[in-house]
């Protein structure tokens, strides 16, 4: 293994500014969507008094979950001392911050009163996991920023490992907190399960790594930097393990639900009768998000190709968005069991008459806001790697593989 | 100094004085008014716990009187559908504090009608999850929203087991002084808190129910009508399994 050098992203200016302009346009469109939604009120969205969290939350939660997962690559290098991961740490930590920034921006801009953000920073109810999350998110950004500094500055190198371990522990707590937002909701059949917290942690591993792989391959490709098979093989095998772990948690979550009669109606809704939610569960969550990437990654031929790795990572991301959609929207669409043992046959406020699920069709504005979050993440990432030395000049086998000399 | 200039100055001073009076007077008025309303500045105490007993046998299917009365009392009838909104979508977005529900027992097929609103839990999940503390429970048992610090995150709506809360989806042109309402905040039934704070002891829904299906009062006072009725008739709390100890109880469901 040779000494690793880092350098700024060196692609030529027209191409760079073109990319920034394109991403900036998406962010601007998202900004206009926010103005439109905030000016009119949420009646211009598909969200209602039944489906209170919609498309913006799907994107925001996906990005926030992916943020903590993106840090994994750095953690494996620092907290678990895997040498081959060390050069990958800077970009990993950067993506953790930019993904979180993108997700939080979407979340905050969907508030009914986004202007009252200062109130959220000054008034706390510490029994609320939401309030804790505000600290966890802000603290995460600060700890990871420190981590990046210590990784980059050789004078701070001796503190780099403790901060790396702190960042790793922080991220586990953070995603546990995000999963608990749903896990703590006792009122709804699809939530109120302790398994949601660790399931969110494992989902974060998969989504964050998938985003990391795609950003790494793209930034290296356009800049003419080399990634050797040693690094890619490790990353894609890890992705396969994470996708399999998500599948395992999915199985346990639904199988334990199926055991208890009280959850049968909810399970029938998600697994069999839920229309779009059933389709997204089997097609998106299970097939595209889990089985397809596992199949590609461990396929003897496909798994070795770069196209295969890109396809697997893309599938994990698309499947992940479907997963979050089924959890967030599907969980609300299923009517709450307010009167167990009884069926509501008439209601003046849409109580799921005769067990009918609640309707939700996202509008363009709220979807554009969500997509804007992804654009913001990439925009911030591309600016950062252009001005600071986040990317190794090469990840070729002879540079990145600690066992290269021996083999 | 010419006469003309002097007159101009005099005129200016007059106008300035008039302006000052116009600016300050409302403040002085308000100050004196609030001084008169001193008892209302005293904090509510836990000596009282407001609660309700609803007799589903008396509640008539198809009757909507309590809903109409609540809408009028709390200005919900003033919330207009925004121009260009889709009517069926707006129906799912407009606020409602109380609603009429008809239930069918899955085994016996028996039909029951009842009004449903915020159940004013002793341990309200909405207040537990609210990040800023905007959702809160008053000492006298009323669960309500502080509209000054509600950021509109809707986590309380996710957490409420009774689906009792509404988000204000559009600008509200006209509102009542005692029920301020703003786009982007969450709200729900507050037992007509403005009435109680002014010394009244009934809610609008109770007054409107000609079948006398709703009894409202102080659960802590053993002599109150609601306490007497609760002692006399069997009653249940909805979602009793959650152990939230709601202030609203039902009989005959």
Residues B191, B84, single domain; the answer is yes
For residue B249 the two structure tokens come to 């109880």
Whole-angstrom CA distances from B166 to A51, A199, B96, B98 are 11, 31, 6, 10
State chain A's mean pLDDT as an integer.
Answer: 95
Stretch A228-253: mean pLDDT? 97
Chain centroid, CA A202 distance in Å: 11
Torsion of CA B185, B133, A34, A145, to 10 degrees: 180
Residues B7, B81, single domain; the answer is no
Instruction: Name the residue among A125, A343, A349 with its Cβ closest to that of B106.
Output: A343
- Residue B35: pLDDT band with limits 50, 70, 90: very low
Enumerate residues 189 to 228 of chain B having a beta carbon within 8 A of any beta carbon in chain A: none
Quickly tell me which residue has 């489906």 as its tokens: A51
For residue A323 the two structure tokens come to 């997963």
Quickly tell me which residue has 């540079």 as its tokens: A399
Domain range spanning residue B78?
A: 50-251
Residues B19, B98, single domain; the answer is no
pLDDT at B7 over 70: no
Q: How many CB atoms lie within 10 A of CB A348?
A: 15
Residues B189, B227, single domain; the answer is yes
pLDDT digits over A14-43, tens only?
A: 999 999 999 999 999 999 999 999 999 999
Which sign, positive or negative, has the C-alpha torsion A380, A381, A387, A389? positive
Q: Choose among A341, A346, A355: nearest CA to B100.
A: A346
- Residue B5: pLDDT band with limits 50, 70, 90: low
Residues B93, B116, single domain; the answer is yes
pLDDT number for residue A401? 85
pLDDT at A325 over 90: yes
Residues B117, B188, single domain; the answer is yes
Distance of alpha carbon A101 from alpha carbon A373, whole angstroms = 8
Q: What is the CATH number of the domain that holds B239?
A: 3.30.70.20
pLDDT number for residue B194? 96
Residues B193, B130, single domain; the answer is yes
For residue B84 the two structure tokens come to 């260009």
pLDDT digits over A281-299, tens only?
A: 999 999 999 999 999 999 9
pLDDT number for residue A182? 93
Residues B99, B166, single domain; the answer is yes
Stretch A134-141: mean pLDDT? 95
Residues B210, B94, single domain; the answer is yes
Distance of alpha carbon B146 from alpha carbon B135, whole angstroms = 6
pLDDT number for residue B34? 42
pLDDT at B82 over 90: yes
- Residue B181: pLDDT band with limits 50, 70, 90: very high
Lowest-confidence region among A150-164, A222-236, A237-251, B73-87: A150-164
Residues B161, B59, single domain; the answer is yes
Q: Is residue A385 a contact partner of residue A91, using CB atoms and an 8 Å limit? A: yes
State chain B's mean pLDDT as an integer.
Answer: 90
Q: How many CB atoms lie within 10 A of CB A376?
A: 25
Residues B185, B247, single domain; the answer is yes
- Residue B33: pLDDT band with limits 50, 70, 90: very low
pLDDT at B29 over 70: no
pLDDT number for residue B215? 98
- Residue B11: pLDDT band with limits 50, 70, 90: confident
Distance from CA of B186 to the nearest CA of A (A): 9
Distance of alpha carbon A198 from alpha carbon A249, whole angstroms = 8
- Residue B4: pLDDT band with limits 50, 70, 90: low
Give phi and psi for A18, each to the nearest 5: -60, -45
pLDDT at A217 over 50: yes
Distance from CA of A337 to the nearest CA of B (A): 8
pLDDT number for residue A1? 61
pLDDT number for residue B39? 61
**Cβ separation of A43 and B169 shorter than 8 Å?**
yes
Q: How many CB atoms lie within 10 A of CB A21?
A: 10
pLDDT at B1 over 60: no
What burial class does residue B6 get, using C-beta atoms within 10 Å of its C-beta: 0-12 exposed, 13-18 middle, 19+ buried? exposed
- Residue A407: pLDDT band with limits 50, 70, 90: very low
Give phi and psi for A391, each to the nearest 5: -100, 135
- On whether any CB of chain A is under 8 Å from the CB of B100, the answer is yes
- On whether any CB of chain B is under 8 Å from the CB of A347, the answer is yes
Distance of alpha carbon A38 from alpha carbon A111, whole angstroms = 9
Residues B110, B217, single domain; the answer is yes
Lowest-confidence region among A392-406, B78-92, B209-223: A392-406
Contact residues on chain A for B186, CB-CB shorter than 8 A: 112
pLDDT at B37 over 50: no
Contacts of residue B151, Cβ cutoff 8 Å, sequence gap at least 6: A111, A112, A113, A114, A116, A117, A119, A120, B131, B132, B134
Q: Choose among A386, A383, A247: nearest CA to A323.
A: A247
Q: How many CB atoms lie within 10 A of CB B86?
A: 12
Q: Choosing among A50, A342, A354, A355, which should be mutated to test the B contact, i.e. which has the most B CBs within 10 A?
A: A342
pLDDT at B19 over 70: no
**Alpha helix (H) residue ranges in chain B:** 3-36, 65-73, 87-93, 125-129, 155-159, 193-197, 204-208, 225-232
3-state secondary structure A82-144: CHHHHHHHHHHHHHHHHHHHHHHHHHHHCCCCHHHHHHHHHCCCCCCHHHHHHHHHHHHHHHH
How would you classify residue B18: left for phi > 0, otherwise alpha for psi between -120 and 50, otherwise beta? alpha
Give B28's Cβ-side CA count (13 Å radius).
Answer: 6
Choosing among 3.65.10.10, 1.10.10.10, 3.40.50.300, 1.20.1630.10, the CATH entry for A6-400 is 1.20.1630.10
pLDDT digits over B123-175, tens only?
A: 999 999 999 999 999 999 999 999 999 999 999 999 999 999 999 999 999 99
Query: Which of helix, strand or coil describes residue A403?
Result: coil
Enumerate residues 108 to 127 of chain A having a beta carbon within 8 A of any beta carbon in chain B: 111-114, 116-117, 119-120, 123-125, 127
Quote the Cα angle for B147-B153-B158, to 5°.
Answer: 110
Total domains in chain B come to 2
Domain boundaries, chain A: 6-400
- Residue B249: pLDDT band with limits 50, 70, 90: very high
Q: Is residue A344 a contact partner of residue B100, using CB atoms and an 8 Å limit? A: no
- On whether any CB of chain A is under 8 Å from the CB of B111, the answer is yes
Distance of alpha carbon A78 from alpha carbon A167, whole angstroms = 10
């Amino acid at each position: 293994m040779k000494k690793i050098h880092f350098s700024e992203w060196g692609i030529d200016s027209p191409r760079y500014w073109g990319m920034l302009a394109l991403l900036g346009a998406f962010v601007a469109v998202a900004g206009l969507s926010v103005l439109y939604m905030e000016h009119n009120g949420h009646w211009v969205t598909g969200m209602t008094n039944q489906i209170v969290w919609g498309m913006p939350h799907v994107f925001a939660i996906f990005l926030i979950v992916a943020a903590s997962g993106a840090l994994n690559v750095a953690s494996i290098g620092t907290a678990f001392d895997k040498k081959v991961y060390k050069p990958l740490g800077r970009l990993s930590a950067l993506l953790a911050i930019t993904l979180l920034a993108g997700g939080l921006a979407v979340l905050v801009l969907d508030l009914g009163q986004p202007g009252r953000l200062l109130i959220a920073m000054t008034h706390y109810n510490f029994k609320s996991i939401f309030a804790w999350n505000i600290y966890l998110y802000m603290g995460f950004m600060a700890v990871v920023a420190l981590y990046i500094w210590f990784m980059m500055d050789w004078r701070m190198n001796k503190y780099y490992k403790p901060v790396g371990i702190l960042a790793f522990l922080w991220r586990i707590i953070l995603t546990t907190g995000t999963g608990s937002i749903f896990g703590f909701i006792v009122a709804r059949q699809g939530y109120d399960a302790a398994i949601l917290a660790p399931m969110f942690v494992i989902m974060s591993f998969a989504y964050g790594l998938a985003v990391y792989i795609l950003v790494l391959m793209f930034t290296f490709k356009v800049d003419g930097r080399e990634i050797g098979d040693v690094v890619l093989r490790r990353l894609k095998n890890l992705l396969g393990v994470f996708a399999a772990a998500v599948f395992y948690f999915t199985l346990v979550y639904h199988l334990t639900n199926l055991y208890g009669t009280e959850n049968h109606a909810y399970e029938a809704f998600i697994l069999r009768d839920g229309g779009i939610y059933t389709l997204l569960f089997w097609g998106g969550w299970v097939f595209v998000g889990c089985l397809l990437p596992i199949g590609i990654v461990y396929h003897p031929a496909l798994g070795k190709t770069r196209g295969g790795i890109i396809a697997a990572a893309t599938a994990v991301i698309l499947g992940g968005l479907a997963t979050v959609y089924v959890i967030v929207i599907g969980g609300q669409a299923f009517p709450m069991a307010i009167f167990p043992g009884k069926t509501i046959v008439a209601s003046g406020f849409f109580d799921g008459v005769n067990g009918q699920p609640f309707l939700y069709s996202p509008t363009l504005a709220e979807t554009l806001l969500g997509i804007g979050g992804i654009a913001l993440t990439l925009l911030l990432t591309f600016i950062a790697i252009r001005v600071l030395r986040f990317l190794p000049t090469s990840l070729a086998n002879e540079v990145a593989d600690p066992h290269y000399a021996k083999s | 100094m010419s006469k003309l200039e002097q007159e101009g100055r005099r005129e200016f001073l007059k106008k300035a004085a008039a302006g000052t009076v116009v600016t300050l007077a409302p403040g002085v008025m308000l100050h004196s008014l609030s001084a008169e309303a001193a008892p209302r500045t005293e904090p509510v105490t836990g000596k009282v716990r407001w609660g309700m007993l609803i007799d589903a046998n008396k509640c008539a299917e198809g009757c909507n009187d309590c809903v109409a009365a609540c809408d009028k009392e709390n200005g919900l009838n003033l919330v207009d559908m925004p121009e260009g909104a889709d009517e069926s979508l707006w129906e799912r977005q407009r606020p409602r504090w109380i609603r009429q529900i008809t239930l069918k027992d899955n085994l016996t097929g028996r039909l029951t009608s009842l009004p449903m609103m915020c159940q004013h839990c002793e341990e309200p999940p909405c207040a537990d999850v609210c990040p800023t503390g905007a959702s809160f429970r008053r000492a006298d048992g009323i669960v309500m929203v502080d509209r000054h610090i509600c950021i509109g995150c809707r986590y309380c709506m996710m957490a409420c087991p009774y689906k009792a809360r509404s988000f204000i989806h559009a600008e509200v042109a006209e509102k009542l002084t005692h029920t301020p309402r703003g786009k982007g905040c969450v709200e729900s039934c507050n037992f007509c808190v403005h009435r109680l704070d002014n010394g009244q002891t009934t809610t609008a829904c109770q007054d409107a129910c000609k079948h006398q299906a709703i009894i409202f009062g102080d659960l802590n006072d053993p002599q109150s009508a609601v306490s007497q009725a609760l002692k006399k008739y069997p009653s249940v709390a909805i979602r009793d399994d959650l152990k939230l100890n709601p202030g609203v109880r039902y009989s005959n469901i």
